[in-house]
Structure 1
Amino acid sequence: MTAASTTADEILACARGLIIAGGYNGFSYADIADAVGIRKPSIHHHFPTKAELVQKLVAQYRKDAAAGLAHLAREAPDPATQLRRYTGYWAACIKDGSAPFCVCALLATELPVLPEQVAAEVRAHFRSLSAWLKSALERGQKDGSLTLTETPRAEAELFMATVHGAMLSARAYGEPKMFATITNPLIDRLCGR
């Protein structure tokens, strides 16, 4: 890794933490410069505008999420286990504070004020996650491991909304266990329990 890419990676990591803490408008290049220990012109060298910075961050987030979902599919071929591991991933991230909130879920709350290039990346994340969930739910319905009360598409949207809502509740209550309290009954219902 070159020094330039290391600096860019540090900037992206810092921006991610600042977005999780306060949203798109909750940070500036001055905040990143202070945290990373560089000057603002150095940030502009890598990311000329804040919109370009956050677009790159979300694009990388989407790439990492896709890789994570692909890994999960390889490691746990049955849909019920995939859904449990997906929520388990978030439960662990919320508990240890490493990723207490999905960056795209947080940015989605700001869609009306986001630059279009950032909003497009956020929407693409939701479409991709929804498609993965729909596929898992369809496979589970087909093999009999999951019981759906709605169409796979509707169940995927419900699942996604429940997971993101559970993140919000865990944050609002300051209780990481709240996430599992909300998501476990959803998975139990899907598994016919």
Structure 2
Amino acid sequence: MPAATDTSQDILRCARTLIIVGGYNGFSYADIAAVVGIRKASIHHHFPTKVDLVRTLLQQYRQEVDAGIAEFERQSANPVDQLSGYIGYWEGCIGDPTSSYCVCALLASQLPVLPPEIAQELQSYFRGLSDWLTSLLDRGAKSAAMVLSADARVEAETFMATVHGAMLAARAYGDPTAFGMITRPLLARLTADR
């Protein structure tokens, strides 16, 4: 990933917002230039192609997620607290139109039309998130903090799909409370009978 400058960070922030609002094909360099107040040539200087821009954005996003996971782990060794923190993070974002949806989940819904380089970044993101959730659920089950109804990997995939589906439901209904209504019972199920 190239070294970040203020201009490149402004471009990345703008692209992230535009992707969340309209998807991969919902923005152009002209849109970014108008919002950031620079020429398209300046964007091309930092990110020669849209693939370069979005790949860099996804790499940066994954670093942010990894830092967030590290923070959940720093705050508590308890797997239930970490899952609650993860859900709480997204619940806090849901009402903000610029961060209300996981950019990777949104782009994953567009996989058939995405360049292979972007698809590869998305697959890496989801594998990493699934690995963390699997490890967390496995530790929760081994410590009797959680009760799993399936293998930890299956539970992790179910958890991940439910959280991303809850984001979609909140967006579809225009109701941020739908996210918690869907995710809280999931966490309750995992911690029941402990």
Q: TM bucket by the smaller chain?
A: over 0.9
Aligned-residue RMSD, C-alpha: 1.0
SS of equivalent residue, structure 2 residue 38: coil
Partner of 1:129: 129
Question: CA separation in 2, counterparts of 1:111 and 1:61?
Answer: 18
Deviation at 1:128, TM superposition (A): 0.3
Cα deviations by residue, 1:11-67 (Å, 9 ceiling, x for unpaired)? 000000000000000000000000000000000000000000000000000011011
Deviation at 1:97, TM superposition (A): 4.0
Contact 2:17 2:98 in 1 (8 A): no
Partner of 1:45: 45
List aligned pairs for 1:55-70, cutoff 5 A. 55-70=55-70
Question: CA separation in 2, counterparts of 1:131 and 1:71?
Answer: 17
Question: How high is the TM-score relative to the length of structure 1?
Answer: 0.96
Question: CA separation in 2, counterparts of 1:96 and 1:177?
Answer: 13
Question: CA separation in 2, counterparts of 1:10 and 1:94?
Answer: 22
Partner of 1:165: 165
Question: CA separation in 2, counterparts of 1:121 and 1:72?
Answer: 23
Fraction of identical pairs, as percent: 57
| Amino acid in structure 2 at the alignment position of 1:40 | K
Partner of 1:18: 18
Question: How high is the TM-score relative to the length of structure 2?
Answer: 0.96
Deviation at 1:98, TM superposition (A): 4.8
- Could you list the structure 1 runs, at least 4 aligned residues long, displaced by more than 6 angstroms after superposition: none
| Amino acid in structure 2 at the alignment position of 1:73 | E
Cα deviations by residue, 1:49-104 (Å, 9 ceiling, x for unpaired)? 00000000000000110111011111021001110110000000113445100000
Aligned residues: 190
Structure 2 unmatched runs, 5+: none
Structure 1 unmatched runs, 5+: none
